[in-house]
Amino acid sequence: MADATMMQMGLYLDNPATQNILLEPVCQQLTRATDDVRKLIAQCADGEHGWDVVQRASVSKAVEKIDQVVKRAA
């Protein structure tokens, strides 16, 4: 089923105009989500729920990687 979906989506994704129409809302939602994660990270205090400088840096790095991918796709 996934292969069939990918084949059907391929028809639309081959066209840059439809690719932009289909992916723009996804990119916008991902950007909002990463912004929300950054806000959450800023609110978390060290020592609570396992948060510390290392965890914060690790999650921040992952969020930054997601942002880079989203910006390339947009």
Note the pLDDT tens digit of each residue in 27-44. 999 999 999 999 999 888
Q: Count the helices and strands in the chain (H runs, E runs).
A: 3, 0
Q: Which residues contact 31 (CB under 8 A, 6 or more apart)?
A: 67, 70
Give the number of residues written for the chain: 74
CA atoms within 13 A on the CB side of 61: 6
Q: 51 near 45, Cβ under 8 Å?
A: yes
The tokens for 71 are 């910006």
pLDDT digits (tens, 9 = 90+) for 38-69: 999 988 888 888 889 999 999 999 999 999 99
Kindly state the helix (H) or strand (E) to which residue 52 belongs, with its residue range. Answer: none
